[in-house]
């Protein structure tokens, strides 16, 4: 964030009503200390609601059923751990969740097409060089996430799914909007459950730079020299 962006950010934050600002992670004061067991409760509630919402949308909406979308993309079970148990972790912030899953899914689809691993059948044995395709997909996805500053560990599994899971493989390019919607739904639930007694997100795009250390003055010695 540049020096010119900081006043704009503060101005926008100050214009938002407190009842809106709270639910998008903006705090004017640090959160109050809470019981040791409070995060456990909200982690359970958040994970239960988030994963249930995904399965309700993709498992019951005719639009997705007709297109063969699985009720849930398995890697979002791991995303739930970060978003609801560690809401202040950098790897759980919205940019990482959205970008990590999207770029990993894109990488997995491209690698699957390069290796001609299209339209896998449920009872089909692994094709030749599928092991290499899976390894490349996850490895390249890690580098892409590093380059785009969207590292999200569960997304490493998202890159594998178009290669090792027939139901996901058959989605082909349609996997991209599915993971985007899945990420948005998980973040929406996190905004609700984590901001009741905690805070989420800590940042939307990039963390705030650490405060500069105060300048130190040279100390004069006993004889008056510096």
Mean pLDDT of all residues in the chain? 84
Q: Decide which of 45 and 2 is more confident.
A: 45
Once rounded to an integer, what is the mean pLDDT over residues 148-157? 97
Kindly report, residue by residue over 68-92, the tens digit of the pLDDT: 999 999 999 999 999 999 999 999 9
For residue 85, give the DSSP letter: I
The three-class DSSP label of residue 150 is: coil
Is the Cβ–Cβ distance between 1 and 177 less than 8 Å?
Answer: no
Res 8 pLDDT > 60? no
Distance CA 75, CA 160 (A): 10
Mean pLDDT to the nearest integer, 207-219: 65
pLDDT, position 93: 95
Q: Is the pLDDT higher at 43 or at 17?
A: 43
Q: Mind listing the pLDDT tens digit for each residue in 112-143?
A: 999 887 767 766 655 778 899 999 999 999 99
Alpha carbon distance 40, 173 (integer Å)? 37
């Amino acid at each position: 964030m540049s020096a010119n962006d900081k006043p704009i950010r503060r101005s926008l934050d100050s214009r938002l009503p407190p009842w809106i600002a709270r639910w998008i992670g903006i705090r004017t004061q640090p959160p109050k200390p809470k019981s040791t067991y409070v995060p456990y409760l909200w982690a359970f509630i958040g994970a239960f609601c988030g994963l249930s919402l995904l399965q309700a949308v993709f498992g019951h909406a005719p639009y997705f059923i007709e297109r063969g979308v699985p009720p849930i993309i398995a890697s979002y079970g791991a995303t739930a751990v970060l978003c609801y148990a560690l809401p202040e972790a950098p790897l759980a912030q919205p940019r990482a969740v959205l970008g990590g899953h999207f770029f990993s899914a894109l990488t997995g689809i491209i690698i699957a097409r390069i290796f001609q691993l299209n339209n896998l059948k449920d009872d089909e044995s692994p094709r030749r060089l599928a092991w290499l395709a899976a390894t490349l997909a996850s490895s390249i996805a890690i580098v892409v996430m590093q380059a785009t500053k969207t590292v999200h560990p569960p997304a490493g599994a998202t890159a594998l799914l178009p290669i090792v899971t027939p139901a996901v493989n058959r989605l082909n390019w349609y996997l991209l909007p599915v993971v985007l919607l899945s990420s948005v739904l998980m973040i929406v639930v996190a905004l609700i459950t984590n901001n009741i007694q905690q805070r989420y997100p800590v940042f939307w795009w990039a963390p705030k730079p650490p405060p500069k250390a105060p300048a130190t003055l040279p100390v004069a010695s006993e004889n008056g020299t510096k």
